[in-house]
Amino acid sequence: MSKSINISFCKFKDSLLQTATTTIELVGWTPPLQKWTKLNFDISHSLSKVVAAVVVRDNEGNILTIVSSLLPPICPLLAESLVSSLAIDVASSLNLKFIFLERDSIVPLKNIQAQQETSP
């Protein structure tokens, strides 16, 4: 099992590494509608730790708060779920009524899908 995971990682690592560069070029912040608040959230992970972060902005782009959390080394998919929950907890603690949650994961998924389609 671990050998097949390692083979899969080796197969897709170039695509995943390209994602960081591509994401930086493509990502741009767009404000939510008036009276709405946008929560952007993401994780960063290494072999030894995971950092989860949430940035809360109003419709004019003003930062209302930034929250981060240091997590133990866990599966990135689980970390994504936890940071989603953290974003909702932050919105609740600020008594926000109209929220827009934003997480950009489409770029890595498209890169992996393209890699799979071109692999024999």
21 and 39 together in one domain: no
Over its length of 120 residues, how does the chain's per-residue pLDDT go in tens digits?
Answer: 444 544 555 555 555 454 444 444 445 678 888 999 999 998 888 888 889 999 999 999 999 999 999 988 888 888 888 888 999 999 999 999 999 988 865 545 555 566 667 766
64 and 5 together in one domain: no
CB-neighbour burial class of residue 45 (10 A; exposed 0-12, middle 13-18, buried 19+): middle
Distance CA 110, CA 63 (A): 30
Query: Considering the entire predicted model, what is its pTM?
Result: 0.64
Return the number of other C-beta atoms located less than 10 Å from residue 35's C-beta: 9
50 and 109 together in one domain: no
Per-residue pLDDT at 27: 55
How many residues can be counted in the chain?
120
Q: Which residues span the domain enclosing 118?
A: 1-27+105-120
> How many domains does the chain fold into?
2
Per-residue pLDDT at 89: 94
Contact 76, 55 (CB under 8 A): no
Look at phi and psi of residue 37 and say left if phi exceeds 0, alpha if psi is from -120 to 50, else beta: beta
Per-residue pLDDT at 54: 94
Per-residue pLDDT at 3: 47
Per-residue pLDDT at 24: 46
